[in-house]
């Protein structure tokens, strides 16, 4: 049996100096993220790069569906009809590319939002498959404390980095989000289950973004997957980063070859995970 070792974290001193990104863009993006709960970083990748990721993703997705007995069988386990959540394990190229998991612009914004010690232990994806239906309004993480203890919002603790793998539109099921809802602390325990009704009284937007953009979202933001009426799937990578003191379990298994390919800076972000020998 192969053994797994916990990845040793490089020290902060090993991080490359900042400066490769536009500081004004970072500050502006971090402010938007803080105030609205999400920010779109446009035109980060060439379309051809996303196209190549997409082709690899489609192979994994079709295998994922087939391995689970087809779409109908899989639907018994999905959150909404044809709304497919899939982990990207094993974490190998092209999904492990540092440009994806530790893009300098996204890293700089996350450092502003989560502090320099932020870490990642969750790598997932969401696909609105053709024929998908609307999901219930939900948040991926609630306020850190209930209102009995604290009725004011805390700064962000968890962010998801979404990497759209095609142009997102209302036709193909771009996510619906409620900006500003990351700052809502429920007044009563019973409010927690009633987001659907509450959301109807609040303004929402759709994440109609071009392929090549990144979307950073506070996990507390209310949102839902939407119907895909196109004849092709609408996938996005969903990588979660959290403040350094947050424990995200279970850790990811990172193949040794992936770990060896990464810079010290990327290893530091993924330091909480388990490096496993190649099979
Ligand atoms: O795919 C989307 O647009 C959102 C999916 C989602 O929020 C979920 O599955 O929890």
* 3-state SS string for 77-107: CCCCCCEEECCCCCCCCCCCCHHHHCCHHHH
What spatial distance separates the first Cα and last Cα of the chain, rounded to whole Å? 11
| Cβ of 172 less than 6 Å from ligand 1 | no
| Cβ of 85 less than 6 Å from ligand 1 | yes
What pLDDT, on a 0 to 100 scale, did the predictor assign at position 18?
Answer: 45
Tell me the Cα Rg of the chain. 19
- Is-contact 106 215, C-beta < 8 A? no
38-41 sheet: strands from edge to edge = 38-41, 214-218, 158-164, 234-242, 119-128, 83-85
- Considering only CA atoms, which of 84, 87, 83, 79 is closest in space to residue 121? 87
Positions of the chain with pLDDT under 50: 1-18
Structure tokens at 191: 């409010």
Residue nearest to atom 5 of ligand 1 (CA): 225
What pLDDT, on a 0 to 100 scale, did the predictor assign at position 8?
Answer: 34
Query: From ligand 1's centre to the CA of 34, what distance in Å?
Result: 21
What pLDDT, on a 0 to 100 scale, did the predictor assign at position 279?
Answer: 64
Query: From ligand 1's centre to the CA of 60, what distance in Å?
Result: 18
| Cβ of 175 less than 6 Å from ligand 1 | yes
Best mutation site among 37, 80, 82, 83 for ligand 1 pocket (most ligand atoms within 8 Å of CB)? 83
CA dist 18 to 15, 86, 156, Å? Answer: 9, 33, 22
**CATH code for the structural domain at 67-252+264-276:** 2.60.120.620
Query: From ligand 1's centre to the CA of 261, what distance in Å?
Result: 30
Residue nearest to atom 8 of ligand 1 (CA): 225
**51 contacts: CB under 8 Å, gap ≥ 6:** 211
Cα 182 from chain centre:
15
CA dist 155 to 35, 51, 53, 141, 257, Å? Answer: 10, 35, 33, 13, 36
- Is-contact 37 203, C-beta < 8 A? no
Domain borders along the chain are 67-252+264-276
What pLDDT, on a 0 to 100 scale, did the predictor assign at position 188?
Answer: 72
């Amino acid at each position: 049996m192969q053994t797994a070792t916990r990845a040793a974290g490089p020290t902060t001193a090993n991080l490359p100096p900042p400066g490769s990104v536009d500081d004004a863009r970072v500050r502006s993006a971090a402010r938007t993220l803080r105030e609205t709960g999400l920010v779109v970083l446009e035109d980060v990748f060439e379309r051809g790069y996303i196209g190549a990721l997409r082709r690899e993703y489609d192979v994994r997705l079709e295998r994922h569906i087939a391995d689970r007995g087809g779409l109908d069988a899989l639907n018994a386990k999905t959150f909404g009809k044809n709304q497919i959540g899939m982990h990207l394990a094993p974490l190998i190229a092209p999904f492990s590319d540092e440009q994806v998991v530790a893009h300098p612009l996204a890293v700089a914004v996350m450092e502003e939002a989560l502090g320099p010690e932020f870490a990642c232990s969750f790598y997932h994806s969401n696909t609105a498959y053709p024929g998908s239906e609307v999901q219930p309004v939900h948040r991926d993480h609630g306020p850190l404390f209930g209102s009995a203890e604290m009725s004011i919002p805390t700064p962000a603790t968890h962010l998801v980095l979404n990497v759209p793998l095609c142009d997102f539109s209302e036709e193909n099921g771009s996510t619906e989000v409620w900006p500003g809802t990351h700052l809502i602390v429920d007044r009563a325990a019973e409010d927690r289950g009633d987001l659907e009704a509450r959301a109807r009284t609040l303004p929402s937007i759709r994440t109609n973004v071009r392929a090549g953009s990144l979307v950073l979202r506070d996990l507390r933001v209310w949102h839902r997957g939407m119907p895909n009426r196109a004849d092709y799937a609408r996938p996005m990578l969903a990588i979660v980063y959290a403040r350094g003191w947050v424990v995200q379990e279970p850790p990811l298994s990172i193949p040794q070859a992936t770990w060896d390919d990464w810079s010290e800076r990327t290893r530091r972000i993924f330091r909480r995970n388990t490096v496993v020998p190649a099979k």
